[in-house]
Structure 1
Amino acid sequence: MAHAHKPILAPVGDEVELTGPWADALRRFSAHLALERHDSPHTVRAYLSDLHEFALFACRCGIGSPQGVTLAGLRRWLGEQQASGAATATIARRAGAARVFFRWSTRESITASDPAQTLRSPKIGRRLPETLTQEDARELLDAATAKAAESEGPLGVRDVAILEVLYGSGIRVSELCGLDLGDVDEQRGLLRVLGKGDKQRSVPLGQPGLRALARWRSVRPQLCAPASGMAVFLGARGSRIDPRVVRRVVHESLRGVPQAPDVGPHGLRHAMATHLLEGGADLRSVQEMLGHASLATTQIYTHVSDERLRAAYRQAHPRA
């Protein structure tokens, strides 16, 4: 493959660091993802991790800049991963990262043409997400409420509110952590959340969630510190709560419901959507509540409900 630059690899301890054209291009792409596309830090890290791996592969092949990459080179990269046993989903994700990067690099004139334009991803089967039953969710919240009543201090009250808001509204962990006091409309039972792509939406929250939030807000001053600002949820030291703390709260609480899968915070979002559809909500309304850009993303929850219906039929009907 032709290339315009000598590949540059600099050792850093036991790792290899990119320098030169590849490093410059990935730095600019990182800024594009964060500042123009408003992707989350997690998404930016995932793109850069995959593209860093490809850039190292390209340099080993003597391609010192994005300009020298061809479709054949990209296919060889994905083929080597497949041969080494990488999961189909991983290969599909990396192919997607390459398409996004080279579409951008062509637009920015870093590359003269887009070598990934016709790069195909391997097809992956859509796996139904594990989710909680309505009884599991009830047990989870009852157990957390009982634990908070037995403990001293505000953290137990906060944890109940976290669980009630995640399950009651279906918002993402990042959206929960970003809530400010002014985002809670108790009168109308709404939360104003800032979702992916800095898109704002209003999400309903039921009475149990509003009551849990009110109890938490009554004890919130016990944790307040100069760093608290207007954050609804606070960590033990008074600053805005970290997503890792929220995940730990959910995982620890789920351990108190032995029959429930350990689905984590996103599993509460799955459960909320599934239970809404089981209760007769229409798909468009659920899409709006979840903040999905595409209805196809929301439709996975209809498959969950259908599978539950078939499982109940197989278990209960004598002619199943």
Structure 2
Amino acid sequence: MLISSFLTYLQTEKRYSPHTVLSYKTDLLQFQDFILKTFELDLSKVQAQHVRSFIVDLLDVKISENAIGRKISTLRSFYKYLLREKEIKSNPMLLIKAPKVPKRLPVLIEEVKMDSLLDSDSSFDDSFSGQRDKIVLEILFGTGVRLAELLRVKENDINFYEGTIKVLGKRNKERIIPLHTELIKQLKDYLALKTVEKLNNKSTTLIVTNTGTAAYPKLIYRIVNRYLTLISTQDKKSPHVLRHSFASSLLNRGADLNAIKELLGHASLAATQVYTHTSVERLKSIYKQAHPKA
């Protein structure tokens, strides 16, 4: 009951995405299962020592620091909510410290590699699926939108006169992203092909399957992984890698950090500043290779 009311709060008041709510639910159910089996306690009776036991158990089974940190963050939000709703008298999370997580730089695909992939005539065939795959990569790399945002884009969210695309981000916040000239042309060609193939009758969603239904996350993951494998040997080949690559390319070309923040839809500048570290690491690498004293 406590978990379900909290999840409803996340959906209705906080307006978190279904994916985010599912992550919270998974973490809380895992915690509840541990507390019941180990201590036979209700979640409202949990104390700090019980949470510490949960963390120790996670460490014992080699759960990563990042994953543990996320679970602790979930519990913080959950017990803060319970305290607000007067379901508990004290917050057990006030005495809990998350394990230190080493900072990791975003995984990127080099701009020159993406250009070679997208500009190659042999990478994508002339079929609808081939052109659909190309436009997926072009949008992700050309706008930096999140996977969930891409899946929600409708055909009429593209303003060809203004040269922009409207996306619905986290917490239902809309933002307008400019499109470069080549991407505008490619979108027009894609929509024309979609009409010829009669695939715009079933859904007004921009990205669709070969049968015309709205695209789904696994399809986009498969598309991105398939084509990035052609140009990269790195393990991580996800839509988010292209988002990172978009931001890094802008920063390397002198874009203002606040402008990048607005384009990415970040709530705070802190989330965007990670790309400055990437830029510094790139400069260090160039310096070591080029400077005679390095």
Structure-1-length-normalised TM-score? 0.87
Instruction: Look up the match of 1:267.
Output: 241
- In the alignment, is the contact (CA less than 8 A) between 2:48 and 2:96 conserved in 1? yes
Asked whether the equivalents of residues 141 and 245 of structure 2 are also in contact (C-alpha less than 8 Å), the reply is: yes
> Structure 2: 5+ residue runs without aligned partners?
none
Q: Which runs of 5+ in 1 are unaligned?
A: 1-23
Which residue of structure 2 lines up, in the alignment, with residue 281 of structure 1? 255
Does the C-alpha gap of structure 1 residues 313 and 223 become closer, same or farther in structure 2, counting only changes over 3 Å? Answer: farther
Which of residues 199, 202, 207 is equivalent to 1:227? 202
Render the CA deviation track for 1:98-124: whole Å, top value 9, x for unaligned.
Answer: 101111112222223221133211111
Q: In structure 2, what is the Cα distance between the partners aligned to 1:156 and 1:178? A: 21
Note closer, same or farther for the CA distance 1:256–1:62 as it changes in structure 2 (3 Å cut). closer
Task: Check the 8 A contact 2:209/2:215 in 1, yes or no.
Answer: yes
Residue equivalent to 1:75: 52
Write the letter of the residue equivalent to 2:151. C
Match of 1:15 in 2: none
Aligned partners of 2:108 and 2:244 also within 8 Å: yes
1:128-277 aligned at under 5 Å gives the runs 128-143=105-120, 145-148=121-124, 151-221=125-195, 222-224=197-199, 226-228=201-203, 230-258=204-232, 262-277=236-251
**Is the Cα–Cα contact under 8 Å of residues 178 and 231 in structure 1 kept in the other structure?**
yes
Residue 11 of structure 2 aligns to which amino acid in structure 1?
A: A
Amino acid at match of 1:113: S
Secondary structure at the aligned position of 1:146 is classed as: coil
- Counterpart-to-counterpart distance in 1, 2:145 and 2:244: 10
Per-residue deviation at 1:25? 1.4
Equivalent residue in structure 1 for 2:25, among 41, 44, 48 = 48
Contact kept in structure 2, 1:225 and 1:237, CA below 8 Å: no
**Does 1:64 find its partner at 2:38?**
no
- Residue equivalent to 1:93: 70
Deviations for 1:38-71, whole angstroms, at most 9, x for unmatched residues?
2122211211111111111211233432221111
Whole-angstrom distance in 1 between the partners of 2:67 and 2:48: 19
Higher CA-based Rg: 1
Shift of 1:258: 4.3
Equivalent-residue separation in structure 2 for 1:269 and 1:244 (angstroms): 17
Q: Which residue of 1 aligns with 2:283?
A: 309
Q: C-alpha root-mean-square deviation of aligned residues, in Å? A: 1.7
2: CA distance between counterparts of 1:266 and 1:251? 11
Higher relative contact order (CA 8 A, sep 6+): 2
* Aligned-pair CA distance for 1:162: 1.1
Distance change (3 Å), C-alpha of 1:130 and 1:104:
same
Equivalent residue letter for 1:92:
G
Tell me the secondary structure at the aligned position of residue 236 of structure 1.
Answer: coil
Is the contact between residue 223 and residue 236 of structure 1 (CA under 8 Å) also seen in structure 2?
A: no
Correspondence for 1:112 among 81, 86, 89:
89
Q: Structure 1 78/259 Cα, relative in aligned 2: closer, same or farther at 3 Å?
A: closer
The SS at the match of 1:203 is strand
8 Å contact from structure 2 (residues 128, 210) kept in 1: no
TM-score w.r.t. the length of structure 2 is: 0.94
Residues paired across the two proteins, number: 293
Change (3 A) 1:132 1:258: closer
2:234 & 2:76 partners in 1: Cα distance? 39
Question: Which residue type is aligned with residue 255 of structure 2?
Answer: A
Contact 1:66 1:111 in 2 (8 A): no
Within 1, Cα distance between the matches of 2:62 and 2:70?
A: 15
Give 1:184's aligned amino acid: I
Moved more, 199-208 or 273-282: 199-208
CA distance in 2, matches of 1:146, 1:208: 18
Percent identity among equivalent residues? Answer: 32
Matched, 1:295 2:282: no
Deviations 1:253-293 (A, max 9, x none): 11221456643211111111001000000100000000000
